[in-house]
Chains A and B, each alone.
Chain A
Amino acid sequence: GENVEQHPSTLSVQEGDSAVIKCTYSDSASNYFPWYKQELGKRPQLIIDIRSNVGEKKDQRIAVTLNKTAKHFSLHITETQPEDSAVYFCAAQTGANNLFFGTGTRLTVIP
């Protein structure tokens, strides 16, 4: 199946700074790339997604970029706030419609 790698595993930033999380995928047929935020013991919440026919998408302080040739995509959070602290997962959907997750990034925003 698809192999999704995610870096870094932990990330600490000062409030107001930007945070960037990067993922790579292995299956060139993957066509949908969502990002999830998960708080402890709760379900993942979709925060932004991008499809393979788009290179960049932005929603307020959150943006995602996709490089299909290199098979990597990134999450950018600007003007970080303490409530952004959580675990973030990238994911890739294969042609078979299965969703595979990255290993997660624990983001801590220091007030």
Chain B
Amino acid sequence: GAVVSQHPSWVICKSGTSVKIECRSLDFQATTMFWYRQFPKQSLMLMATSNEGSKATYEQGVEKDKFLINHASLTLSTLTVTSAHPEDSSFYICSAQDSLYGYTFGSGTRLTVV
């Protein structure tokens, strides 16, 4: 089946620094990738939809300048959390949509901002 690789799996950073999370589709081309955030014991909240070669579409309430999304190729999308603060600490998961397998999720990245 389809595989989506997400790195890093966990990261600890200092407040004010930026963190980049990568999401790769390993055996298929993903025109569209999605980024979710999940707080402890809560649901996955869609942050943005990333389309290859174009600007991401952000959900209401998600700061575009804070969560930079780049989808430069059909197999790679990145999420950069800029000027991270402790309230940005969360579990971030990407998902890629494939016509054959539907939605395939990455393994997630646990971000802790100290």
A99–B42 CB distance below 8 A: no
If the complex has contacts A97-B97, A98-B34, are A43 and B42 also in contact, measured as CB distance less than 8 A?
Answer: no
Q: Is the interface of B mostly helix, strand, loop or mixed?
A: strand
If the complex has contacts A97-B97, A98-B34, are A104 and B106 also in contact, measured as CB distance less than 8 A?
Answer: no
Range of interface residues on B (Cβ < 8 Å): 20 to 34
Closest residue of B by beta carbon distance from A104: B43
Among the listed A42, A89, A98, which residue makes an inter-chain contact with B108, where contact means beta carbons less than 8 Å apart?
A42
Q: Is the interface of A mostly helix, strand, loop or mixed?
A: loop
- The residues of B that contact A54 with a CB separation of less than 8 Å are none
Among the listed A46, A98, A103, which residue makes an inter-chain contact with B43, where contact means beta carbons less than 8 Å apart?
A103
Q: Shortest distance in angstroms between A78's beta carbon and chain B's nearest beta carbon?
A: 24
Q: Return the CB mask of A72-111 against B: 1 if under 8 Å, else 0.
A: 0000000000000000010000001111111110000000
Q: Return the CB mask of B43-57 against A: 1 if under 8 Å, else 0.
A: 111100100000000
Any B CB within 8 A of the CB of A44: yes
If the complex has contacts A99-B34, A102-B43, are A1 and B108 also in contact, measured as CB distance less than 8 A?
Answer: no
On B, residues with C-beta under 8 Å from A are 32, 34, 36, 42-46, 49, 59-60, 91, 93, 95, 97, 102-103, 105-108, 110
Q: What 6 new A-B contacts, CB under 8 Å, besides A89-B43, A101-B44?
A: A41-B91, A98-B49, A99-B46, A100-B46, A101-B43, A104-B42
